[in-house]
Chains A and B, each alone.
Chain A
Amino acid sequence: MTGPGGSLHLRSLCKRYGSYPAVDSVDLQIERGEFLTLLGPSGSGKTTLLMMIAGFQDITSGDILLDGTSIANTPAEKRNFGMVFQGYALFPHMTVKDNIAYPLSVRKRPKAEIAARVAEMLDLVRLTPFAKRFPKELSGGQQQRVALARALCFAPPVLLLDEPLGALDKKLRIEVQAQLKDIHQRVGTTFVYVTHDQEEALSMSDRIVIMQNGRIEQVGTPSDLYQQPKTAFAASFLGKSNFLRRDGAVFALRPEKIDLAPAGAGQGANKVSGAVQSVTYFGAVLKYQVAVPGMDPIEVDVDAWRGGAALPEGARVDLTWSETAAVRLTDQTL
């Protein structure tokens, strides 16, 4: 549908405000057609990094290469990157159709080509009946799709998305995530997506970059990051983790990888005993907090349908897990 995606190479990219490093020597290779998510809490530098790729933030040092060519000194309007802004930034004085046609009409493309392309994009985001409406007459989800169509209309090699789902309610967000993923697969454009929402990151990305304090904490596929977090930050920001100290090292242990059994029934090398501190019912899972002497309380998720009735508070339990379940982190302390 559009041209092939571009590959991006960020080379020791830095952005300093005075002495404060907003982005601190970031090295990253973004593959052609990839859906890459920059994930991190606010202030982690993810948006600054995106704005540097877009050309709205200048670079203190380092380089950005698009398909091997430096674009560090190319102004934003010459980079040809599509961008979906937080809050969408649609042109309020133009109809949906004119918004989507804008990138082509500023490039002075023939009218017939523009009309055909706009129709194609309206169809892609399923907004054909709304072509003549103004942005303020649309719902948040529809506005978001207009912004997406507008940013994809000129077949950019790279699409940058800055928390595009932030303004939507949770149910709609899940629906739009699926649409976004579907559109990504159909157009083949490289997507660079910024979010602080870990579920969004896990469900859509080919790879996730976890950022903290302007640095890359860890890069990997969603399952890599979830199964093999390298740092305590990665382990706790993406999903939940219990942290155990053993042999001078710190291990991360996911709550759902722990087996919970009445005292005496637990088998295996990795076993601790404790007492149920609290139990909360979440429909699909029961979340136990287990107090273990000499450790922080351990959180355990048990499939609710499997375990029968919930164990009462104060019940003595054994916790066991397989050898591979606990992941050794690079952190020495917490």
Chain B
Amino acid sequence: MRLPIQSGWLLVLPFLLLVGGLFLGPILNILWLSVTDPTPGLGNYAQLVTSDTLGRILWTTIRVCVICTVFSVLFGYSIAYAMVHAAGPTQSRMLSLLLVSFWISVLVRTFSWLMLLGRNGVVNSGLEALGIISQPIPFMRNELGVLIGMIHYMVPYAVLPILASMQSIDGRVVQASRSLGATGAQTLWRVYLPLTRAGVVAASLLVFIINLGFYVIPAVLGGGKVLMVAEYISVQVLVTLQWGTAAMLAALLLFGVLTLLFIMSRFMKLSTVFGGART
């Protein structure tokens, strides 16, 4: 007897139910809330055009995320390049250092930055003691602080996909470019970068998407001056209890991410970007 569906699906059914119930359900609930609370309709979404506050928050979020992505990927690319070209033992040491940084809590890292770069932090007091500056440099409690914290947190995420794409390059292709008379810069621009493009795109996407939802770092290092979407959502949910607005912003983030993925999928296979087998 043939089942109308393949019996393998029965095995994954419990997990499908879990995912459906605990993941898709709440998301649908959010979407539902965004068009029904406090009154049915698109009132929440209309705030996007009518509210200056929301506009400013969205603009801050996008600006911070873009800058952070650019710098994280730039640093990530350099680190990955150094790792690929390091000798075997050095390379594995570098990789373990990179992985260790994943295990350090975001809170610890954030407060470390405060201690380092805050008004009375090591750097400022050191420079003052040396007489180089008379006023502490405002590193923290502003957008610069948020960017420093976020970039620092995101660099390891940027390294991994770029590293993977660099490792798949045949070293002879780079040698070929040199033997054909290309300078180092030409080889980088015309051979190396194009061949690592998938890694760069993957890293940018990953970093940008994680950035969109950042909450702790802007809250602590921004000193309340840098309000980003995630923090604003929490304020709406916990303080002002405007769940409709919060749900609308959450839905906006969700669609933003999905749109990004869709745009990327027009240019390249997403499975390649996320390290799947090349076909």
| Residue ranges of A at the interface with B (Cβ–Cβ < 8 Å) | 54-56, 75-83, 85-87, 89-93, 102-103, 106-107, 150-151, 154, 160
Closest chain A residue to B193, Cβ basis: A93
A85 close to B172 (CB less than 8 A): yes
- Whether A89 touches B170, Cβ cut-off 8 Å, given contacts A76-B175, A106-B190, is yes
B179 close to A106 (CB less than 8 A): no
- Whether A89 touches B176, Cβ cut-off 8 Å, given contacts A106-B186, A106-B190, is yes
Residue contacts A-B, CB under 8 angstroms, 13 given: A56-B179, A75-B178, A82-B180, A85-B176, A87-B172, A89-B170, A90-B173, A91-B173, A91-B176, A92-B173, A102-B190, A150-B180, A154-B180
- Whether A102 touches B179, Cβ cut-off 8 Å, given contacts A86-B172, A87-B170, A89-B172, is no
B195 close to A92 (CB less than 8 A): yes
B176 close to A83 (CB less than 8 A): yes
Which residues of A have CB within 8 Å of B172?
85-87, 89
Give Cα distance in the complex from A87 to B176, angstroms. Answer: 11
Which residues of B have CB within 8 Å of A154?
180-181
A89 close to B173 (CB less than 8 A): yes
Please report which residues of chain B, range 156-200, place their CB below 8 angstroms from some CB of chain A when the two chains form the complex.
170, 172-173, 175-184, 186, 190-191, 194-195
From A55, A82, A92, A102, contact of B182 by CB (8 A): A102
Closest chain B residue to A162, Cβ basis: B172
Give Cα distance in the complex from A82 to B175, angstroms. Answer: 11
Number of residue pairs spanning A and B whose beta carbons lie under 8 angstroms apart? 69
Closest chain B residue to A76, Cβ basis: B178
Which residues of B have CB within 8 Å of A77?
178-184
Give Cα distance in the complex from A44 to B58, angstroms. Answer: 65
Which residues of B have CB within 8 Å of A87?
170, 172
CB distance from A119 to the nearest CB of B (A): 18
Give Cα distance in the complex from A306 to B219, angstroms. Answer: 96
Q: Output the residue of B175, B191, B195 with the most chain A CB within 10 A.
A: B175
| Residue ranges of B at the interface with A (Cβ–Cβ < 8 Å) | 170, 172-173, 175-184, 186, 190-191, 194-195
Give Cα distance in the complex from A150 to B182, angstroms. Answer: 13
Give Cα distance in the complex from A151 to B176, angstroms. Answer: 9
Give Cα distance in the complex from A90 to B179, angstroms. Answer: 12
A76 close to B179 (CB less than 8 A): yes
Give Cα distance in the complex from A81 to B175, angstroms. Answer: 12
A151 close to B170 (CB less than 8 A): no
Which residues of A have CB within 8 Å of B191?
91
Which residues of A have CB within 8 Å of B177?
91, 102, 106
A106 close to B175 (CB less than 8 A): no
CB distance from A274 to the nearest CB of B (A): 51
Give Cα distance in the complex from A144 to B195, angstroms. Answer: 21
A85 close to B180 (CB less than 8 A): no
Closest chain A residue to B173, Cβ basis: A89
Which residues of A have CB within 8 Å of B190?
102, 106
Give Cα distance in the complex from A208 to B179, angstroms. Answer: 24
CB distance from B125 to the nearest CB of A (A): 48
A106 close to B195 (CB less than 8 A): no
Give Cα distance in the complex from A103 to B179, angstroms. Answer: 9
Give Cα distance in the complex from A92 to B192, angstroms. Answer: 11
Which residues of B have CB within 8 Å of A54?
179
- Whether A80 touches B181, Cβ cut-off 8 Å, given contacts A89-B170, A106-B186, is yes
CB distance from B36 to the nearest CB of A (A): 50
CB distance from B181 to the nearest CB of A (A): 5
Which residues of A have CB within 8 Å of B195?
92-93
Give Cα distance in the complex from A80 to B178, angstroms. Answer: 9
Which residues of A have CB within 8 Å of B180?
77, 82-83, 102-103, 106, 150-151, 154
A85 close to B175 (CB less than 8 A): yes
Which residues of B have CB within 8 Å of A90?
173, 176
CB distance from B141 to the nearest CB of A (A): 45
Knowing that A90-B173, A91-B176, A102-B180 touch, tell me 6 more A-B residue pairs with CB under 8 angstroms: A83-B176, A87-B170, A87-B172, A91-B177, A103-B180, A151-B179
B179 close to A82 (CB less than 8 A): yes
